[in-house]
Structure 1
Amino acid sequence: MLALLVLVTLALASAHHSGEHFEGQKVFRVFVEDENHINLLHALANTNQIDFWKPDSVTQIKPHSTVDFRVEAEDISTVENFLEQNELQYEVLISNLRSILEAQFDSQVRATGHSYEKYNNWETIEAWTQQVASENPDLISRSAIGTTFEGRTMYLLKVGKPGPNKPAIFMDCGFHAREWISPAFCQWFVREAVRTYGREIHMTEFLEKLDFYVLPVFNIDGYVYTWTKNRMWRKTRSTYDGTKCIGTDPTEILMLGGAFIMSSRSPCDETYCGPAAESEKETKALANFIRNNLSSIKAYLTIHSYSQMMLYPYSYDYKLTENNVELNALAKATVKELATLHGTKYTYGPGATTIYPAAGGSDDWAYDQGIKYSFTFELRDKGRYGFALPESKIRPTCEETMLAIKHIANYVLEHPY
Structure 2
Amino acid sequence: MGGVAKTKSLYFQSLLHAREWVAGSSNLYALSAILDDIENKKHTVVNSYNLYFVPIVNIDGYDISWNSKRLQRKKANEVDLNHNWPARFDHPEKDNGSSSQTYRGEGPLSELETKAIELWLKNKNSEISGWVDVHSYAGKILYPNGDTKELIGNDDDDKFKVLGGMHY
1:297 has 2:138 as partner: no
Amino acid at match of 2:23: S
Deviation at 1:265, TM superposition (A): 1.5
Whole-angstrom CA distance in 2 between matches of 1:304 and 1:162:
34
Q: Superposition pairs for residues 50-69 of structure 1, below 5 Å?
A: none
Q: How does 1:268-417 map to 2 (within 5 A)?
A: 268-323=99-154, 326-335=155-164, 347=166
Question: How far has the Cα of 1:315 moved from its partner?
Answer: 2.2
In the other structure, the counterpart of 2:9 is 168
1:221 to 60, 67, 71: 60
- Alignment partners' CA distance in 2, 1:161 and 1:290: 26
Alignment CA distance shift 1:170-1:209 (3 Å): same
Deviation at 1:165, TM superposition (A): 3.9
1:179 maps to which residue?
A: 20
Number of residues paired by the alignment? 168
Q: CA RMSD in A?
A: 2.2
Larger Rg: 1
Displacement of 1:184? 0.2
Which residue identity is paired with 1:305? S
Is the contact made by 1:186 and 1:216 (CA closer than 8 Å) also made in structure 2?
yes
Cα distance, 1:278 vs structure 2:
0.3
Contact 1:222/1:234, CA 8 A, preserved across alignment: yes
Structure 2 residue 36 is the aligned partner of structure 1 residue 195: yes
SS state at 2:17 partner: coil
- 1:249 maps to amino acid: D
Aligned residue runs from structure 1 range 49-198, under 5 A: 163-197=4-38
Which of 94, 97, 106 is equivalent to 1:266? 97
TM-score, normalization by structure 1 = 0.38
Instruction: Tell me the CA shift for residue 253 of structure 1.
Output: 1.0
Q: Deviation per CA, 1:85-141: give whole Å up to 9, x if none.
A: xxxxxxxxxxxxxxxxxxxxxxxxxxxxxxxxxxxxxxxxxxxxxxxxxxxxxxxxx
Structure with the greater relative contact order (CA < 8 A, sep ≥ 6): 1 or 2?
2
- 1:313 to 1:186, Cα distance in 2 relative to 1, 3 A: same
Q: How does 1:17-32 map to 2 (within 5 A)?
A: none
Whether the aligned pair in 2 keeps the contact of 1:171 and 1:303 (CA below 8 Å) is yes
More strand by share: 1
Match among 226, 234, 241 for residue 73 of structure 2: 234
8 Å CA contact retained: 2:6, 2:49: no
Q: CA deviation at 1:270?
A: 0.7
Show structure 2 runs of 5+ residues with no match. Answer: none
**Aligned counterpart, 1:107:** none
Q: Percent identity?
A: 23
Structure number having the greater helix percentage: 1
Q: Secondary structure at the match of 2:32?
A: helix
Contact 1:169 1:210 survives alignment (8 Å)? yes
> Aligned equivalents of 1:179 and 1:274: distance in 2?
20
CA-CA distance at 1:327 after TM superposition: 2.0
Q: Secondary structure of the residue that 1:298 maps to in structure 2?
A: strand
Please report the TM-score for the alignment, with normalisation by the length of structure 2.
Answer: 0.88
Q: Is the 8 A contact 2:12 2:52 kept in 1?
A: yes
Equivalence for 2:85: 254
Give a deviation string over 1:209-243, Cα, whole Å, max 9, x none: 111111111111111100001110000112xxxxx
Pick closer, same or farther for the CA change 1:235–1:210 going to 2, 3 Å.
Answer: same
C-alpha contact (below 8 Å) 2:11/2:52 kept by paired residues: yes
